[in-house]
Amino acid sequence: MTEHIAKPAIEDLLYAINSKSAAKLDWERVKSKSLAISEVGNLQMLRGTRGQPERVAVSESLRDHGKSLFEVAESRDVAVAKSRLEAISENCTNCHRAYR
């Protein structure tokens, strides 16, 4: 179920951050999508609590990276935004590798 939030959100972030020049970057979009990603972290955390501490940890990390990307969007730092987006993608991959 959360994939219907996570997938469009990360696709929008990849497009907004990687395919636009810094001057044209839609930071408001980055803000709203990064919060959606952060909430996916919260929702995933609820699902992984039974005997799966790594799943909880990666969910927390996703929540924190989403929040951090929101803050980066407020300061409009493209380089840091790219690195946060990479960290988010790694969170998705890490959990899927183990639990999907």
Residue ranges that bind ligand HEC, judged by CB under 6 A = 3, 6-7, 10, 37, 40, 44, 48, 55, 58-59, 62, 88, 91-92, 95-96, 99-100
Instruction: Give CA separation, 61 vs 16, 20, 23, 80, in Å.
Output: 22, 27, 29, 16
Rounded Cα distance between 92 and 58, Å, is 8
Q: Which is nearer to ligand HEC, 80 or 87 (CB)?
A: 87
Q: Please tell me what DSSP assigns to residue 31.
A: H
Q: Which is nearer to ligand HEC, 17 or 92 (CB)?
A: 92
Q: What is the smallest separation between the CB atom of 52 and ligand HEC, expressed in angstroms?
A: 9
Q: Please tell me what DSSP assigns to residue 52.
A: -
Q: Which is nearer to ligand HEC, 6 or 16 (CB)?
A: 6
Q: What is the smallest separation between the CB atom of 68 and ligand HEC, expressed in angstroms?
A: 14
Counted residue by residue, the chain has a size of 100
